[in-house]
């Protein structure tokens, strides 16, 4: 049975639902049953089932499932990029460049 992924996210509830649907789709792509993914991730079957159905689950649960599915690195890369962007100023008007360090003038050694 295929489960279409909802791509329109207009609320936090939509987001968590998409997370659950994504975990289910990834598990099915591997042709794993819920008990098999549960065994590989250490997440109880009941917790996995609830996450896939409702999107409700903890960050720890999601991390364990993504690790077992081999998707944790891709998610980490996404988060790393979002963090990098979050550290940039909202606009260039807010950007204050650092003062250039003064360069030292090196002189050739004196002859004695």
Residue with more model confidence, 73 or 98: 73
pLDDT at 8: 75
pLDDT tens for each residue of 2-40? 445 546 778 988 889 999 999 999 999 999 999 999 999
Has residue 102 been placed in a domain? no
Task: Summarize the confidence of residues 66-95 as an average pLDDT.
Answer: 85
Has residue 48 been placed in a domain? yes
Task: Summarize the confidence of residues 28-56 as an average pLDDT.
Answer: 97
CATH code (residue 66): 1.10.260.40
Residue with more model confidence, 24 or 110: 24
- Helical segments of 1-112, H only: 12-29, 34-41, 45-54, 59-68, 72-86
Has residue 44 been placed in a domain? yes
- CA 55 – CA 63 distance, rounded (Å): 14
For residue 65, what are the domain limits? 20-74
Has residue 60 been placed in a domain? yes
The count of structural domains within the chain is 1
Residue 106 pLDDT class (50, 70, 90 cuts): confident
Has residue 110 been placed in a domain? no
Has residue 94 been placed in a domain? no
- For the chain, give the mean pLDDT: 85
Residue 112 pLDDT class (50, 70, 90 cuts): low
């Amino acid at each position: 049975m295929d489960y279409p992924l909802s791509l329109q996210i207009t609320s936090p509830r939509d987001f968590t639902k998409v997370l659950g649907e994504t975990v289910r789709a990834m598990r099915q792509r591997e042709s794993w049953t819920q008990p098999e993914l549960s065994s590989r991730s250490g997440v109880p079957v009941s917790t996995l089932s609830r996450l896939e159905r409702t999107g409700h689950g903890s960050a720890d649960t999601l991390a364990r499932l993504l690790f077992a599915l081999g998707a944790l690195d891709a998610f980490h890369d996404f988060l790393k990029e979002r963090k990098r962007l979050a550290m940039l100023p909202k606009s260039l008007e807010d950007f204050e460049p650092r003062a250039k360090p003064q360069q030292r003038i090196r002189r050739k050694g004196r002859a004695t």
